[in-house]
Each structure stands twice: as structure tokens, then as C-alpha cells.
Structure 1
Amino acid sequence: MRVRGFQKEHDSIRADLDEGQLFFWAVEKNIIRCVYTKEGACGEKSPLGIRPRCRGAIQVQDRDNALELSSGRLRLTVDKETVAFRWRDRKGRILLEEGPKELQETRIPDYTIVDGQAESRLVHTVDGDRSFTENLIPVSEHNGYLGKLCFRLKAQEDIHGLGQGEEGIYNYRKNTQYLYQHNMRTPIPFFLSNQGYGILADCGSLMVWNDDSRGSYLLLDAVTRLDYYFIAGENLDEIISGFRSLTGKAAMLPRWAYGYIQSKEAYDTQQELIDVVSEYRRRNIPLDGIVQDWHTWEEGAWGQKKLDKKRYPDFRKAVDEIHKLNVHVIFSIWPNSGIGTDDNREFLEKGELLNDFSTYDAFSPQARETYWNQVKRELYTAGVDGWWCDSTEPFSGADWNGKYQREPWERYRLVGEEHKKYLKAERANLYALAHAQGIFENQRKESEEKRVFNLTRSGYAGSQKYGAVLWSGDISATWETLRRQIREGLNMCMSGIPYWTLDAGAFFVVKEHWWKRGAFADKISDMWWYWRGDYEDGIGDMAYRELYVRWLEYAAFVPVFRSHGTDTPREIWNFGEEGEPFYEAIAKTIQLRYRLMPYIYSMAGKVYCQDYTMMRSLLFDFPEDMRAKNTETEYMFGESILVCPVTEPMYFEKGNRRLQRSKGWECYLPMGTDWYDFYTDEKYAGGSTVMVEAELDKIPLFVRAGSILILEKDLMYAGQQTGEPMEIHIYPGNDSVCFHYEDGGDGYGYENGEFQFVELRWDDFADRLTIGETRKAFPQGILGRQLRICLGDREQWVRYEGNELTISFA
């Protein structure tokens, strides 16, 4: 394949090849879009819905052996003989080399029903009822391509992102990763490199990342063209900002969503919801959300969005009672409905079902509106505050069985083919994105005063603009799973998705003792590969209680904080009573989350305004620290707090057997700054490894020197105005600036500028804090508050009335 010529067009460069054409656009000075096509046109709709505005100007120079393109901060050399790419930054440093691109023509099957009558088979699984159409077969084909982007990676290069898998891979070098939607797998067609770039593939099909002796490449299963964006950045934040400029800014969640959310599989009545919330309030344990999981419908009416009136006789009244306790209700809704149910018949009559005749067609705007109207009738009008959009990868049931887990390639093929059969090959990974779009857009038509909260098991590039929070699926209770989840969370956040969470304590707890299972599976003796927890006695085993506490401590430092699972209870009183160690550890963990609420909500403001990432691999802030770049189970929570989760048992092993071991935990403190122990204020030098005591009620935390932490006291819910003084803690060692974000806490006024950042500036040499001027009062804001300013063991008290205020400790 060779370059035969080129042409400068309106805002692009077209290079003619002996096999197709290449097109280039400068989207920004640091972002270039590349398209390789054999069809001679690039007008097809973007699978990701990208509508790039070409703010940059692309220039081209014709050299003897190459085309030299430039966008201001990026330089691209295209070899005329091989069509290989070489990307450089503005200083001439090589970022990446690419081999020739490949588009292999293929015939893509289209499936339909033979004989005009669907033969449906209903399968009851732990993951919900699944409908399979037995006589759905390929009857026609259309042209498409198997695409391949080939990379020549540097020896010391690391690759991150690609969404979330199950294996706990942190660095994708020397690994193969199958990118398909499944319970516990959420692919994102974006990766970034520690060499200063990221690549976003505008693709909705299945994909495979590969890096081994066969080469380094991204394989795209079904495309009409190769269409991707090369994003350069001085740091990971800038690369991710480029990703969000293309796929959409992350919507703000309501303030309450950053508090604690209690859940389990599953509360059975509206009274049980009220009782759980009331008990949290009676015990003075902070709480902001309660989740109603599945099976709220009448027996036999799978997926109905109508409630069983025997168990939920007046749901609006129940929601009102919960709201009076300042707690919000999140409700489980599914994309499929039982064949013959009222919701299902409505979709069928309107022609808005996919070919399993159970799952609605989320790609149709009309079907999305029908779905929302069903949600609205009994749920939204009852005052439900958020949605648990479960099973948004609705065709993974074929793999949700068997005692032994299939091989990775076999699972990819099996589940991928199911998605291709019902969704079309080109959009096999896109269902969750379309579903989230429907929830977001239709709820906003109802009101701009209530932010969308969508807790969903699957997503894709762009989900962040629809108020989606991705959770990691139905994981099992083992220490190894906890370690893997840290790595998976970091990679999801390095995929440009800011809001990720997990089931604290894991979903599945037991393994061999099938009669102790939840999820309506306690009468089934079959062994399943995914139900593989280590604790047959659940909370009756002190070893599980310890694992749960450590998991909850970690979960308190991810963007959305929640507990959920089956097999064993999750509410705090099931782990003991006040004064007992597990109870106290859980209570302190939840209280710590609320103490940090101003810090957390300010991070959320930066996520929207600055494309920030809350849960940060150490690569974000310490790229030059070679040890930090390989540290997989520590991370920054915002710019100030280093989190070092405990990922091994210290007190008990399975079967209530006590362990006799040190309670010390080894932590690496990145170089380039000093660090303070969050609990003791003891100071440590950066670039060192320290051993700290990690008692059951403490997750090791360190604060970066130069940080300013704004803390609340005694909050019972995120929006509470206690009248207590706000605390400002200064950790000296560097000059710094901190911005306290404030808005209305709910609604979309922030999109129209209804927010503010209050600046706090620390002068380390002068021992002086300056709080900037502000005139607008927001709920939970700093204006009019009594402030306790702490510098080590010194403190001062002031009232902030909006004028610039200087506090000196000199």
C-alpha cells in the first residue's frame, strides 16, 4: 500500500492510496482525527455520536518520501511507500509509530426469523430471565470490514484504559484483552500511554487488544472504515480532557450521590425500605441512598415496571417517608420484559422490540420514549430519585452457566455472537450507551431541577455525559478479587469514565453451600463458575466481616460509595453492635466519607468544569517516579489524598480462625513531595516506603504536603446544614491553591454558570492562608460560616462573610 497523491480540502487533508484513501482533520491543536476508508467517503454517522468541531488548522508538506502533517502541537509523518505513521510532539519527541492499517473485506450476516413466527425459549438465570429466539438465523449479508490498527510500542511503554475486565490487568503490555459487553466486563474503545498520548477508536463493534509476539494491535470486528482520534497531552489529565471533548463532558451527579448508598439483593417490601432507613437514622449513621433491587413486580411478570401492590401498596407514600428522613430512593429497572406482560405487549404493538422479543430497542428514539413512559407511570411520579439500570448488556446469558469458566476467546465469541445476532455486528457494544441516553434525555424533559443518577452495569465511551455511574458487576468475595478491583477501577478511570463503583463486600459470598445462596438460587444445587465466594457462613464468619470492612474502607475512596450483594446481609447492625470492632469500623468509615464531603464535591465540580479524574492512578501525578508507575494498589483520591487499601487479612482467616500477625501495612509514598499521615499528622519524606499501623478501623491515608483540606463535621446526609463550623486543615511544605466548589446540589443550573469556585491560597513561606472573595451563597457553601483553621497543633477561628480574608500563623 502506497501514497499516490494528496489534496488539501476545506478543513482536511486527503491522501490517495493505491488501496483507498486517508483523511486527516485537526480537531484541536493536540487532537488529529484519522480515517482510512476504501469506500471513498467519510459521511457515515459516528458510532459514538461524535460531532467534532475542527478548531485546529492542519498543515501538510510534501517531502520526497513522506507527507508531513502538523496541527500546532502534533506532527505526523506518513511514509509514502508503506503508509506507516510516526507521531511526534511539538518538540520532535516520538510518541508512537504505527504500522500500515488494515481493512479486510468481509460479509456481515443479518439475522431474522424464518417462517414468520418466533420460537422463543425462556431461561431463568441468576442474572435474570433471558429470552432466546431459536429460529433466528442469518438470511442475508452486507459488506463490511475487519479493521486493524497496528502499533510499534516502545520497550518501556505502558498501556492503560480499555474499560474494565475481570482479570485485574493494570498494564496491558504483553496481554490480550477481549472488548465485549458482559457482566463484570465493560469495554471502552480508548487507551492511553505513559508516553503522552491516547487513542480513541470511533467504533461500536467488538474489539480485541493484543500485544505479544504476533504484534501490538487493536482489532475491530465490524466497521465501514477505520476512524480514530490521536490525542496528545502533557499529562494524563490533558489526554482525558481530549477524550471528553470528543465524547461529552461528564454530567454532575446530585450532591446526595456522593454520600453513602445502602443496598442488598433484595429488599422485599416498601416497609422494609422504610425500616432500614429509619434504623440508620436511629443509630446516627450517615446515609443518602437506599436501593430497591429487582423482583418488585408481580409473580410471573418479569421486568414489569408496575409494582406488586401486595408488597408495595402505596409506594409514593413510602418514598415520601424516606424523603422526610433525607434519604433518596434508587430503583432497579431492566431493559427486558417477560413476553406477554403489559410492558412487553406495548413494545410489541409499537414494533419497538429487538429480535429476542423481550428487550426493547434502545437505538430507537421512539422506543426510548416508550420505555421512559413506563418508568414514569409508577416510579418517577412516585418520587424515585435515581435508577439502577441493571443488565444493560442484555445478551450475555449464554455464558452465565456451567461449573467451569470458559476460555477467554471462547467467551468472547459466545457472548459476542449473541450481541451481534440481536444488535447487529457494527453496534454490538453500544446498547448500554443508547439505553443511558434514553434515561437521561427523557428524564430531563420532565424537569431540569433533578439531576439524573443512573447506576448501570455496562457503558461505553460517552456514558459519562448521561449521568451514568458504572459498577463492576457481580463479583465474588475473595481477597484476590478485592486486589483486582482496585486495578480495574483505576483502568476504568483512565478510560475517561469518571464515575465508577463496585459492590463493597462483593456480590457473591458463598460457593459450595448452594442452599445459602440468595438471588432465588437456594433451591438449585448446580455449581456455577461465577458464584465463587470464599465464605460459606457469610457474616457468621469473622473472616468475611474483616474482608467486608476492608472492602468498605476502599469503597469509601472511589467516586460513588455503596454496599451491595447477595447471600448475606449488609446493613451495619448485622456486623455487631455499637462498641464492637466491626460495627465501629464500618461506622467510622461511613463517617469519614462525610467528613470529606466538601473535598469530594469540589472534585466533582472539577470533573465537570475541568474534565478532572477523581480516582487517580499514580501515573497522573507522579509520571517520573518509576516505582509509582508500577504501583497497582495505591492511588490518589483527588490531588491531596494518597489511598493505600489493606488487601490482606490481619485478624481472621476462613472459619473464624484468628491470625497472629502484625497490623502494620507497607505503603510507598511517591517522590517529589513530603507526606502527612492523615490520622496522626506525622510527616514522611516522599520516595520512601513506610510501615504504618492499619488497625481494623483505619485505611492507611496520607496527605500531600501543601494540601488544603476542607472538612465537615457530624453530617448525617450530604445536603445537611448542621450549623457546625467548617474545618480547614493545612498541610505545610509547599505553596498551594485549593478551590472549593459550590452549586445548588441538584438541578442543571450549573450548566448555565450557576456555580462558583472559592479560592483558598496557602503561602508556605509566610505561613499565611488567604480565602478569596465571594458574594453568592449556596447550600453547604462557605459564605457566612464559622471556620476553624488548623495548621498542625495550631488553630484559629474566623467567620467568613465573603470579603477576601487573610489568616496568618506567622
Structure 2
Amino acid sequence: DNYSPTLFTDNEVETSFRSEVGDCVDYYFMYGKNADGVIAQVRSLTGQAPMFPLWTYGYWQSKERYKSQEEVVDVVRKYRELGIPLDGIIQDWQYWGHNYLWNAMDFQNPTFNNPQKMIEDVHAMNAHMAISIWSSFGPMTKPYRELDKKGMLFNFTTWPQSGLESWPPNMEYPSGVRVYDAYNPEARDIYWKYLNDGIFKLGMDAWWMDSTEPDHLDWKPEDMDTKTYLGSFRKVRNAYPLMTVGGVYDHQRAVTSDKRVFILTRSGFLGQQRYGANVWSGDVASTWESFRNQIPAGLNFSLCGMPHWNSDIGGFFAGHYNESWNDDSASKNPLYQELYVRWLQFGTFNPMMRSHGTDVYREIYKFGKKGEPVYDAIEKMIGLRYSLLPYIYSTSWEVSNRQSSFMRALMMDFVDDRKVWDINDEYMFGKSILVAPIAHAQYTPEAVVKVSEEEGWNRDGVKKAKTDVAVDFMETKSTKIYLPAGTLWYDFWTNEKHEGGKEITKETTLDVIPLYVKAGSIIPVGPQVQYATEKPWDHLELKVYAGANGNFILYEDEFDNYNYEKGAYTEIPISWNNASRKLTIGARKGTYEGMLKNRKFTVTLQDGTQKSVDYSGKAVSVKF
């Protein structure tokens, strides 16, 4: 328990931690019998994960950046016209104007001249909005002036370095942007005052907190001696994201309990899960190697006790697939199309499904039109995500209430199978679905391009990865998958049954990600919708995979407030007895305002056999 930069050594000689500074370091040993038990103890020590609204588990569209409020609203409108589900739209930086007004928490860019109307227009189409906010301020902003007078700004160099938007930064015109002292409770109060008055009161739904490390450029040794409210920057540096994210969470909770806090943030620290934080992996490159690295990154992050994680679907820096800067060519380039589809399939089984990046348009209609393989593959996965919302939302309750995890390394559930201990390209999503992303190119050559942040922002010297290749995305390919021992597995797409403990070959097409369901699983499937709460869950399909006993708890509440903390929610226990081939839907536990009192379930076995049952809250059984 120590917040300063620390060197961890683990070799045949020693396992040690060497810290630059610290009055004291506490060490905790947590024995939990299994990985879930350890994670439960981590959260008992550092904080539990609150519930997110249902809508945040839908599909998010984003890019760097929408340049006017009309463009923001038009993206949502096009999704609605196309009938493609969408719940979240994100506005990236520079809605405040130029760099001297950096993070003003005010809409001074003339292309965002009526932000209230923008948010209302998005809400009128039953979508929600998040907006980019930073941990630093430009010298012409109101927060800067107030914080500066009180000595609550740091002096080290941060992003952006120049007041001009050109690249590389023109240091003839330094931006003067400075990071605020998030360790200081008064500084956090000031931060929220401007955020609340300038943006939250307009109806903003969620926050995208960028640069929460914070960005520290042109590093100098004396920077670490910078004074913070809690001592030197050297002493507390690693906890900065915990403090700045926590400041927004605590203040919004104090203002209202009607809207759950959702914060997308670039950096995390142990305990940040208690602040409604979903951490993403940053500005990663649009390459297959980078994509492959996201899978173990997400699993390792989840094993630290922080359950909400995601990456930029398609990678952030994709300009090397373009013919020229910021045009439509990459979304028509088969090399990028294949990478994007496979990354999107992986993102479908992340806690947050969010498409984002620079250089390349990410909206589905930029990839073609209905009836074309790339468009259809994207549409299929967004639709699948929405059909699984009852499963995902019930899993989120397991995460909040029973210390579970969304993304589960295979060793968490199959520890007796030594072969899974080091598998880093497959995982469980919830307790039932094994996900095996296709993370190697099958239809196109893998373009090996090394992209750093400096190179990524260089619009003129982009290394090109465009290759003229003839591609037939309708062609069938194959991939190998290892299925853990100790259970039967069913192919999610075909219901074909497989014994665990062996490697199999799966035939795939561009629109298929290998998915396998563990025997004994019960998966609730929701209706086709355009947004998460469009239709009530009054007729759910329960997919039952026989071969073992199984249990599932269907969780529901008001979907976006904190009344669940006062007991306003319901649980419906569902169990499958494999020997008697009987599904029992147990008595409903709990109540909340507006809950469904009567509903229908259609129970479907993996062999296609179906039976329907009416349910009014009392236990009922279905025999097969």
C-alpha cells in the first residue's frame, strides 16, 4: 500500500518492491481459495464496484472528434434511420475552443453554440451522451484562474504543449496548460463547480476523463519534487487517477441519486472500481499485434479487482490504412476492415462496447451498406450485444453484489486444467460464455506498422500499410481453439457439442467469432431493440445448455438510479436439473417501482426443443 513509483523485481533470486519514497509501506496477503476469492478480498479492502446504468452496456459510437454539435446529432440520427442499435455517443476534445481554453468546461467553440439543444436532441432519440474532460486547464479558463490563485496547479509540462493545434508542437507558442492538484479536496470542489455549472446541469449523462495519469511530458527530476496537498508528487504520484476520478464520482453522488455515475478513464489505480470507473487501454495502434495484446491486458486488469475495462475498437491510430489524412479510404481498405471487424467482435464481449479512434471514420455506414459482408458483420455483432443485455446486466449485478468479474481468465474457472493457466487469447465472459477472438488476419496480409504516439499524430509522415489485395470476405476459414477440461461445451452458433480438454478446429467466416457455452448454462436472451430500454423484458428466451446442473439469477431494477442500494430490485433464481431434465424458475425475490409482475419465458434447449411458460412471480417448473 504505497503510492510512489515502485520497482517490482521477480526472478530466481528475489521478489521485491523498491519504492522511491514512502513513510511506510503496508503489505497485505490475501488467501481466497481461488481467484474470485482473492478479488473479493481486494474489493473488501479497496472498495466495491457500484452498478452502472443498463444503457452503458449498449453500443457506443465515438471518434476523435465530432467537430460540431450538428455532426454529433446527425450520427445518432443515422443510426436510428438505419435501424442499428445505439445507446451512447461521445464528444471528444476541443468543444471548448482553442488550446489556451483547454478543458474550460464551457462550450466556446462556435460549432457548439447551443450545447443544451445538442444534448436534448440526443435524448429525444433515446440515446445518451458522454463528453471529454481533462485533469488540466488552459491559462485563459475560469478554473485555471481560480486554481492558480490558490496555488493548486502543478508546474511540470503536460499535453498540449503548444497553444497551436499544429503537429509537431510549436514551442514558440507554449500553451501554458497545467495539471490541477487533485489530491486537494478544495481543488476537487472547484473542479466539480465548473463541471457541474458548465456541463452537468445541461443534462450530460457520463464523463470521459482523459489524461488521468496525468500526462507528464519533458520529464525532469525536479518535477517529482512538485508539492501536492499530500506531500511531494514523488510520494503520491501513482494515486493521481484515483483522486481525480474519485472527485467527480463523489461530487455527482452528492448532487443526485437519480443518475448513476459512469466514468470512462484512461488510467486506473487499485480501488478505482468504487468510483464508477471504466478504464480503457489508451491510444493503442491499429495493428494486429496491438489487438492481440488487448486480450491479456483486459484479463490482467480484471484480475486486479477492477471489473470494467475496454479498448478502442479498431485501435486509435489507424492513419497508415488511409490514402490521405482523415479520409474515408481506410474504412474501404480490406486490410483495415478485417482488423476492425475482428476487434469489434472482441469488443462485443468487453464490459463496454465502444468504437473509437482517430484518422478513420468508425460509424457503421462508413464501412458499406446492408447486404455487404463487412457492414453485415458489424451489424450482427451490435445486434448480438443487445440480445445479451439481460445476461450482461445480471452479470453486472454479480460483479457489484458478489464480487465477480466480466472478463475471466480461463484459470479462474478451470484451475484444475493446467493447459489453461497460460492461455492468453481466450477467456470467459461471465460464467457461461467462452470467447476465442480471431486475432490473426485470415483474409489479408498483416501490415506490420510500428506506431508510437508521436508518429501517430504526425499527419505528414505516416507510414502506409495499404496493399492491393483481392479479398473474398465470403470465403470460409478456420481457427483452432482449446476447450477447457471438466465440462461439455456447445458451439454458440451451431449448438454442436464438444468434450472439454482438447483442441478443436472451428470453421469461421468474417461474421463469426468462436463462442462456446459451458454445459449447465442458462442464458437469458432479450428482444431486438434500438436502444437498451426500448422494450420491457416481458418475454425473454431462456437458452438452456444441458449436460450438467446449472443456475442463473435474472436481475432487474430501475436501470438508472441508486434505489437498488436501498433494496429496490428483483432477483429471479433459475435452475436446471440435468438428471430430471427440469428447469425451475423460482419465486421472485424483492420489488421495485414499475417492475414486471407478469411475463412469459420461452425455454429453449440446445437441441432446439422449446416450451413456453407464464410467470407471475411464483415458482414454476418446465419438464423436458
Q: Do the structures match in fold with TM over 0.5?
A: yes
Is the counterpart of residue 271 in structure 1 residue 70 in structure 2? yes
Q: In the alignment, which residue of structure 2 is the partner of 1:807?
A: 622
What letter corresponds to residue 258 of structure 2 in structure 1? E
Preserved CA contact (<8 Å) 1:720 1:780? no
Q: In the alignment, which residue of structure 2 is the partner of 1:753?
A: 567
Out of 337, 353, 359, the position equivalent to 1:545 is 337
Distance 1:668 1:783, change over 3 A: farther
Higher helix share: 2
Q: In the alignment, which residue of structure 1 is the partner of 2:268?
A: 459
Q: Distance in 2 between the 1:513 and 1:691 partners?
A: 34
Preserved CA contact (<8 Å) 2:476 2:508? no
Deviation of the 1:351 alpha carbon:
3.1
Deviation of the 1:755 alpha carbon:
2.0
1:519-534 alignment to 2 at 5 Å?
none
Deviation of the 1:220 alpha carbon:
2.2
Deviation of the 1:541 alpha carbon:
1.5
Is the counterpart of residue 314 in structure 1 residue 114 in structure 2? yes
Deviation of the 1:285 alpha carbon:
0.7
Is the counterpart of residue 242 in structure 1 residue 41 in structure 2? yes
Is the counterpart of residue 482 in structure 1 residue 291 in structure 2? yes
Preserved CA contact (<8 Å) 2:479 2:505? yes
Q: Distance in 2 between the 1:233 and 1:470 partners?
A: 25
Deviation of the 1:781 alpha carbon:
6.4
Deviation of the 1:688 alpha carbon:
1.3
Distance 1:415 1:698, change over 3 A: farther
Deviation of the 1:473 alpha carbon:
0.3
Out of 373, 380, 390, the position equivalent to 2:193 is 373
Q: Secondary structure at the match of 2:132?
A: strand
Is the counterpart of residue 298 in structure 1 residue 97 in structure 2? yes
Distance 1:219 1:266, change over 3 A: same
Task: Kindly provide the CA deviation profile for residues 665-698 of structure 1, in whole angstroms up to 9, marking residues without a partner as x.
Answer: 1110000000000011110000011111121111
Preserved CA contact (<8 Å) 1:782 1:800? no
Is the counterpart of residue 627 in structure 1 residue 435 in structure 2? no
What letter corresponds to residue 490 of structure 2 in structure 1? Y
Q: In the alignment, which residue of structure 1 is the partner of 2:525?
A: 711
What letter corresponds to residue 333 of structure 1 in structure 2? I
Preserved CA contact (<8 Å) 2:260 2:561? yes
Instruction: Report the identity percentage.
Output: 39
Q: Secondary structure at the match of 2:86?
A: coil
Out of 553, 558, 567, the position equivalent to 2:359 is 567
Q: In the alignment, which residue of structure 2 is the partner of 1:117?
A: none
Task: Kindly provide the CA deviation profile for residues 556-585 of structure 1, in whole angstroms up to 9, marking residues without a partner as x.
Answer: 101111010000100000000011011000
Q: In the alignment, which residue of structure 2 is the partner of 1:438?
A: 247
Q: In the alignment, which residue of structure 2 is the partner of 1:681?
A: 495
Is the counterpart of residue 771 in structure 1 residue 585 in structure 2? yes
Q: In the alignment, which residue of structure 2 is the partner of 1:349?
A: 149
Preserved CA contact (<8 Å) 2:212 2:267? yes
Q: Distance in 2 between the 1:416 and 1:279 partners?
A: 51
Out of 387, 391, 394, the position equivalent to 2:211 is 391
Deviation of the 1:342 alpha carbon:
2.3
Distance 1:589 1:568, change over 3 A: same
The structure with the larger Rg is 1
What letter corresponds to residue 503 of structure 1 in structure 2? D
Task: Kindly provide the CA deviation profile for residues 207-235 of structure 1, in whole angstroms up to 9, marking residues without a partner as x.
Answer: 22222355322222211123111000111
1:72-87 alignment to 2 at 5 Å?
none
Deviation of the 1:418 alpha carbon:
4.4
Is the counterpart of residue 652 in structure 1 residue 464 in structure 2? no
Is the counterpart of residue 592 in structure 1 residue 384 in structure 2? yes
Out of 588, 592, 599, the position equivalent to 1:785 is 599
Distance 1:782 1:478, change over 3 A: farther
Task: Kindly provide the CA deviation profile for residues 438-484 of structure 1, in whole angstroms up to 9, marking residues without a partner as x.
Answer: 10011111101111111000110111000011000000011111111
Q: Secondary structure at the match of 1:485?
A: helix
Q: Secondary structure at the match of 1:773?
A: coil
Q: Distance in 2 between the 1:416 and 1:556 partners?
A: 43
Higher strand share: 1
1:79-158 alignment to 2 at 5 Å?
none
Q: Secondary structure at the match of 2:391?
A: helix
Preserved CA contact (<8 Å) 1:745 1:779? no
Preserved CA contact (<8 Å) 2:426 2:434? yes
What letter corresponds to residue 457 of structure 1 in structure 2? R
Distance 1:267 1:362, change over 3 A: same
Preserved CA contact (<8 Å) 1:395 1:419? no
Deviation of the 1:758 alpha carbon:
1.1
Q: Secondary structure at the match of 2:351?
A: coil
Q: In the alignment, which residue of structure 2 is the partner of 1:668?
A: 482
Deviation of the 1:504 alpha carbon:
0.3
Q: Distance in 2 between the 1:435 and 1:514 partners?
A: 40
Deviation of the 1:513 alpha carbon:
7.8
Structure 2 gaps of 5+ residues are: 157-176, 446-465
Deviation of the 1:515 alpha carbon:
6.1
Q: In the alignment, which residue of structure 1 is the partner of 2:160?
A: none
Deviation of the 1:343 alpha carbon:
2.3
Q: Distance in 2 between the 1:325 and 1:659 partners?
A: 37
What letter corresponds to residue 547 of structure 2 in structure 1? G
Q: Distance in 2 between the 1:246 and 1:739 partners?
A: 26
**Greater CA drift, 746-755 or 541-550:** 746-755
Out of 244, 254, 260, the position equivalent to 2:59 is 260
Q: Distance in 2 between the 1:450 and 1:512 partners?
A: 40
Preserved CA contact (<8 Å) 2:95 2:109? no
Distance 1:250 1:734, change over 3 A: same
Is the counterpart of residue 327 in structure 1 residue 127 in structure 2? yes
Deviation of the 1:396 alpha carbon:
2.8
Out of 491, 495, 513, the position equivalent to 2:304 is 495
Q: Distance in 2 between the 1:741 and 1:625 partners?
A: 31
Preserved CA contact (<8 Å) 2:88 2:127? yes
**Greater CA drift, 502-511 or 638-647:** 502-511
Deviation of the 1:713 alpha carbon:
2.0
Preserved CA contact (<8 Å) 1:742 1:780? no
Out of 140, 146, 164, the position equivalent to 1:340 is 140
What letter corresponds to residue 298 of structure 2 in structure 1? G
Deviation of the 1:435 alpha carbon:
0.4
What letter corresponds to residue 151 of structure 2 in structure 1? G
Q: Secondary structure at the match of 1:698?
A: coil
Is the counterpart of residue 604 in structure 1 residue 396 in structure 2? yes
Q: In the alignment, which residue of structure 2 is the partner of 1:794?
A: 609
Higher relative contact order (CA 8 A, sep 6+): 2
Q: Secondary structure at the match of 2:286?
A: coil
Q: Secondary structure at the match of 1:397?
A: coil
Deviation of the 1:735 alpha carbon:
0.9
Q: Distance in 2 between the 1:677 and 1:268 partners?
A: 43
**Greater CA drift, 302-311 or 670-679:** 302-311
Deviation of the 1:340 alpha carbon:
3.3
Distance 1:265 1:801, change over 3 A: same
Out of 471, 491, 504, the position equivalent to 1:690 is 504
Q: In the alignment, which residue of structure 2 is the partner of 1:219?
A: 18
RMSD, aligned α-carbons: 2.1
Distance 1:515 1:348, change over 3 A: farther
Q: Distance in 2 between the 1:497 and 1:729 partners?
A: 29
Q: Distance in 2 between the 1:551 and 1:372 partners?
A: 35
Q: Secondary structure at the match of 2:79?
A: helix
